[in-house]
Structure 1
Amino acid sequence: MRNLGIIGTNWITQQFIEAAEETKSFKLTQVYSRTEEKAQAFVEKLGKSNINLSDSLESFFASDDFDTVYIASPNALHFGQARLAIENGKNVIVEKPSTSNVREFAILDTLAHAKGVYLFEAARQIHEPIFKKAQEFVKDNQDELSGATLSYIKYSSRYDDFLAGNLPNIFNPKFSGGALYDLGVYTVYDAVVLFGAPNSVDYEAEILNSGIDGSGSLTLKYDKFDVNILIGKTKNSYMPSEIYFGKKTLLLDSAGDINRLTEANEEKKLTELPTTKSDNPMDSEAIEFARIMNEKDTTSYEKLFDYARKVNRVLEQARTSAGLVFEADKEE
């Protein structure tokens, strides 16, 4: 079991800690927050004791009581925090997207390989058994693959606040927010892992008055088919996602959090595929990240890292096509 430090005291951090400890992959030893009071409140919420607390990133990363850090701060903070972690010799698990742009990703790529540490992007759905079942179905029917429609549209709990005249991080270009860099990351990961990197990317976005995308549609073009992606944080949709194989279709109940896979044959008969799903969707990634580090499985690591590299490239290509600019893009 590896020792874990965390940055971010929100629900997703709690979920990862629970997954890490349920699977005996990581043990929480230190928590960073901007205030020690907030870190203490988080630890108490977890029902834990004897956890070191820090309100200074420098002292946090200088600590020798953890070797891996999980970062779940706002998007724009990922790069700086991950860079500091790597410079201090820590392995990094960072929530997706790991960076705001390709320039930042290339810097972390070079630094992590030079330092000999691991840098994981926490795309938890691609590690789940139910996603691997979909991946297996696509591989088995590769010759008939003829496109896909992926949908992940969910009304944000912060959108009402935005409509009231405030500027939550998720709708703020300063924090690299918006639909594409939130829900859209899931769909792009689906496409890259299942179909590979596209030849071209186009994003038609609904731009909010903050300069951030509230929703939109992407078209990823491949040699023989297109993948159409619908994303949004300003409305709700209950449309399933579909992968097409001529007369046959694979239905996914969600492009972001798959709970059910259904095959439709040419007679339109629906057959639900047998799958497994953990109560905690982060279990599988926690197990895999720890396994790769413990076994020094370079092959599996580089495969995951290449997915992250391609996803971040697609995200930037999509933003460029839609004219979306983050504050991070202006940094030298």
Structure 2
Amino acid sequence: MLKLGIIGTGNIAHQFIQAAQLAGGYLLSAIYSRRLETAIQFALPYGDVELYTELEAFVASDLDVIYLASPNSLHYQQALMILEAGKHLIVEKPAFSNPKEFAHIIEVAANNQVLVLEAARNYHEANFDIIIDFLKDKTIYGASFNFAQYSSRMENLLAGIYDNTFQGKMSGGALVDLGIYEIYAAYRLFGQPKTARYSADLLPTGVDVAGCGQLIYDDFQVSMIVRKNAQSSLANEIYTDQGTLILNHIQGLQSAQFRGLDGNTRTIPLKSLQHLMLEEAQVFETILSKPEEHQDLYTHLLTVAQQVNQTMTLMRQDANIQFEADL
């Protein structure tokens, strides 16, 4: 069993713990929060768990792996402490603010003989394997991906209060929060794009509340819509020489239909999802439990994570989005 520690007391951390418990290879052992009251409240569903308010003591405790889900801009410094303490790291997407941070983290992880994994859950969904297999005999003409989810922070935003997710100093914005899922889906389905563009609706804090992007491949483009200020029910579509494949989403993929050029529609059978983060937790448990047996898989995931980070950075630069961490 992997002794698991948690940094971050938001809903995403609860979700990962639930997935880890379903996966069965983790033992929740410790939780860190700056405030003891917050840690106590967060830990209530989980029974006897060690609570820490000092980060140094937390990373020095008897843990195998730490899941890091603090605000984006804090990932880098906290990751350094975790890796230098000899702990494996699972860091919630977006893992790091820019390629320079990511490259240094990889170097530190290698020097300390530990692993670092970005928690981008949709890349691990088995249903994408079914979609990839379905597309094998088809020529891709392009795709349209859409992720518009009205933020729980919009009420504050409209009142002129900019929470972490909407601040450049916190490495926030719609692209790195929601658009990253679309980029990861494109990487999974089509590989690395040749280049990328992004046009954004910018806030006074310098980050995007919404935007449109293109991932450009040799023979086609993937169009992206990203919004945190609206809710959308638009499907995600992949265009081929034989018809259009319609997906319910690019994360949490649960339904797929193919509308042929002859007008006929058929349903593509997909696997049911037990939990959005379960497949991710299972993959990470497999790698971390026997890293020497899964070096190729680890190297692949790390390479893709770096490439996705580079693509997002290119798109941010195109839209004039600058983080404090870039300076």
TM bucket by the smaller chain?
A: over 0.9
- Could you say which residue in structure 2 is the equivalent of 1:113? 110
Q: Deviations 1:223-274 (Å, cap 9, x if unpaired)?
A: 1111111111011111111111123221111123322111111122221211
1:211 positional shift:
1.5
Aligned residues: 325
1:12 positional shift:
1.1
Q: Verify the 8 A CA contact 1:172 1:210 in the aligned structure 2.
A: yes
- Could you say which residue in structure 2 is the equivalent of 1:200? 195
- Could you say which residue in structure 2 is the equivalent of 1:42? 42
SS at match of 2:209: strand
Identical positions, percent: 38
Q: Verify the 8 A CA contact 2:164 2:172 in the aligned structure 1.
A: yes
* 1:210 correspondence with 2:213: no
In angstroms, what is the RMSD of aligned CA positions?
A: 1.2
Q: Deviations 1:94-122 (Å, cap 9, x if unpaired)?
A: 11110011110111111112222111101
Q: Verify the 8 A CA contact 1:242 1:249 in the aligned structure 2.
A: yes
SS at match of 1:181: helix
- Could you say which residue in structure 2 is the equivalent of 1:23? 23
Which TM-score applies when normalising by structure 1? 0.95
Matches within 5 A, 1:128-277: 128-138=125-135, 140-141=136-137, 144-277=139-272
Q: Deviations 1:55-98 (Å, cap 9, x if unpaired)?
A: 1111111112x110001111111111111111111101111110
**Distance (whole Å) between structure 2 residues aligned to residue 239 and residue 54 of structure 1:** 43
Q: Which amino acid aligns with 1:21?
A: Q
**Distance (whole Å) between structure 2 residues aligned to residue 257 and residue 177 of structure 1:** 22
1:132 positional shift:
2.4
Q: Verify the 8 A CA contact 1:69 1:92 in the aligned structure 2.
A: yes
**Distance (whole Å) between structure 2 residues aligned to residue 233 and residue 289 of structure 1:** 29
Q: Which amino acid aligns with 2:158?
A: L
1:196 positional shift:
1.4
Q: Which amino acid aligns with 2:323?
A: F
1:50 positional shift:
2.2
- Could you say which residue in structure 1 is the equivalent of 2:11? 11
- Could you say which residue in structure 1 is the equivalent of 2:317? 320
- Could you say which residue in structure 2 is the equivalent of 1:88? 85
Matches within 5 A, 1:60-79: 60-64=58-62, 66-79=63-76
1:15 positional shift:
1.0
Q: Deviations 1:24-74 (Å, cap 9, x if unpaired)?
A: 121100000011221111111x1x33211111111111112x110001111
SS at match of 2:199: strand
**Distance (whole Å) between structure 1 residues aligned to residue 57 and residue 263 of structure 2:** 60
SS at match of 2:75: helix
